[in-house]
Amino acid sequence: GEVYAFGDNSSGQSADQPSVQLSSLHLIDSGDLRGIPVRSVACGSEHSMALSIGGSVFSWGCNKHGRLGLGGEHEEETAIKKPTH
């Protein structure tokens, strides 16, 4: 399936346009997530993650304390694939 979001986006957790409040549904199809069928989604207050049908994990939003699982503290405004082993 596809991923849609709306609401608070102060950390890029809802879309690829940080600090833009989303008052209606917005298709999340940027970065590595573009065109990937999604099985499941998990959302925190400042970050989001998606599991693809193929088993890959994607994360975006605030990476404070490494919450995106990417290492470091950098922000990710577009969905990026998390390396899985």
pLDDT tens per residue across span 41-81: 998 888 888 999 999 988 888 888 777 777 766 666 556 76
User: How far is 36 from 51, CA to CA, in rounded Å?
Assistant: 10
In the numeric block, the tokens 């404070």 are attached to: 64
Structure tokens at 61: 């939003």
pLDDT at 62: 82
- Answer whether 17's CB lies under 8 Å from 64's CB: no
Q: For 10-41, what is each residue's pLDDT tens digit?
A: 877 776 666 677 788 888 877 788 888 999 99
Q: How confident is the model at residue 2 (pLDDT cuts 50, 70, 90)?
A: confident
For the chain, the distance separating the N- and C-terminal CA atoms, rounded to the nearest angstrom, is: 24
Give the residue from 13, 7, 6 showing the smallest Cα distance to 67. Answer: 13
